[in-house]
Amino acid sequence: MNRTTVIIAVIVALIAGGIVIGYKPEAPVEQETPGTPEPQPEEPEEPTADPTEEPEAPPEEPDTPPPVEEPTYEVIDLYTIIVDTDGPPRTEARVTILNLLDEPQAISLPVTFDGQTKQETVQLTGNLTLHTEVIPIRPRGTYNLSIGQLWRTVETSVPEIRFSPDTYDLTQGVPQFISTDFTDLDHVTAISKFRSGYGHDYSDSTEECRNMKHYYEPKPEYLDNGLVDAYSPVDGRVLRVQRGQRQDYPEVDYTIAIQSDDYPAFHVIIFHIDKHENITVGAKVKAGDHLGTFQLYYPSHDEYSHDYDIAVGVNTGEGYRFVSYFQTMTPELFQTYRDRGIEDVSEFIITKEDRDANPLTCGEEEFTGPTSTDDWTHLN
């Protein structure tokens, strides 16, 4: 074997052994002894596989979670309402949707009521309240309603039912969390009682034919537009802004529903407001924020309104309930009513037992009798 052959063999062997070769001076090559065979390296024996052993499974690759898609809209409110202005009465489902994008988008929501499903496609350019006729009105009864991911049980003959994903168990008692009044009490002379026969039927999923709001009667000198301020009584989010207009009246006012941050199952609903432009669905408000003023005069008919009103609704998970605004007040806020001669919250409430024992009669939403002067509590 000549010198060149040995060098090549050594290089091949080193490369086969995985050694990285750097430059070194050549070492002298030993001369081979003639007739002596080169020793051959022994090949290692391959291990014999045990046929009883199961082959090792390849290592599992870690699961890669699917990418999380950011929501582009949020359904924040779901309710039903009886509508009879355009023909025969019907039940409508209404859902309030927030557009979370800075641009318009089209969304499609399945609406199912009592087993009947329809698909609603809407173009969201901002925040939207979607009105969808679900099914003709039925006798009083309980039915299932779902819109998108929200599902609720509804009572079709209740004038309005609102829902949010949050619930509260009223068997724990009504929390006293409202410490800011929605109006200036100095402007008020009398307040209607919870479950009164004044106004019209405004009842919840467990009671009927009674008014579960409170009406505030202003003093005569404040009986005009722009004089009585409306405030948010809670920190929260505006769930609903509903335009209201009397038949044959050009004047417009608004109903504003605010979801409490502290108790999100509770909604404060304030009626007949000439609202500020920034009070829109989804807007955040703080307790004491100015919402607008109450509409108390209708110049087209030279007619004054007797009062303005407030309600507090609760989503219990088993139906939408109303509680008295006064039940939700902190002792500190109620003290301002004590200063006007009121001794106890009960002076503003007709109990369910008393109303059931002395029922009212209703035709559609209106009371047909009997009403009573005991429907009002007067302030000093």
Q: Say whether pTM exceeds 0.85.
A: no
Domain ranges of the chain: 73-157, 175-378
- Cα of first residue to Cα of last residue in the chain, in angstroms, is 127
What pLDDT is stored for residue 19 in this prediction?
33
Q: Which residues of the chain have pLDDT under 50?
A: 1-34, 133-139, 156-163
Q: How far is it, in rounded angstroms, from Cα 360 to Cα 367?
A: 7
* CATH number at 175-378: 2.70.70.10
CA-CA-CA-CA dihedral for 223, 229, 235, 236, to nearest 10: 70
What pLDDT is stored for residue 83 in this prediction?
55
Count, residues in the chain: 380
- pLDDT per position as a tens digit, 253-272: 999 999 999 999 999 999 99
- DSSP secondary structure string, 22-72? ---PPPPPPPPPTTPPPPPPPPPPPPPP-TTSPPPPPPPPPP-PPPPPPPS
What pLDDT is stored for residue 163 in this prediction?
43
Q: Is the CB of residue 258 less than 8 Å from the CB of residue 232?
A: yes
Q: How many C-beta atoms lie closer than 10 Å to residue 307's C-beta? A: 21
Closest-CA residue to 76 (of 125, 143, 126, 149): 149
Q: How far is it, in rounded angstroms, from Cα 209 to Cα 362?
A: 6
Best CATH choice for the domain 73-157 from the list 2.60.40.10, 1.10.10.60, 2.40.50.140, 1.25.40.80: 2.60.40.10
Q: How far is it, in rounded angstroms, from Cα 186 to Cα 241?
A: 27
What pLDDT is stored for residue 53 in this prediction?
60
108: β partners: 121
Q: How far is it, in rounded angstroms, from Cα 212 to Cα 312?
A: 9
The helix (H) or strand (E) run that includes residue 363 is: strand 361-363
Q: How many C-beta atoms lie closer than 10 Å to residue 25's C-beta? A: 4
What pLDDT is stored for residue 160 in this prediction?
44
The helix (H) or strand (E) run that includes residue 4 is: helix 3-16
Largest CA distance in the chain: 136
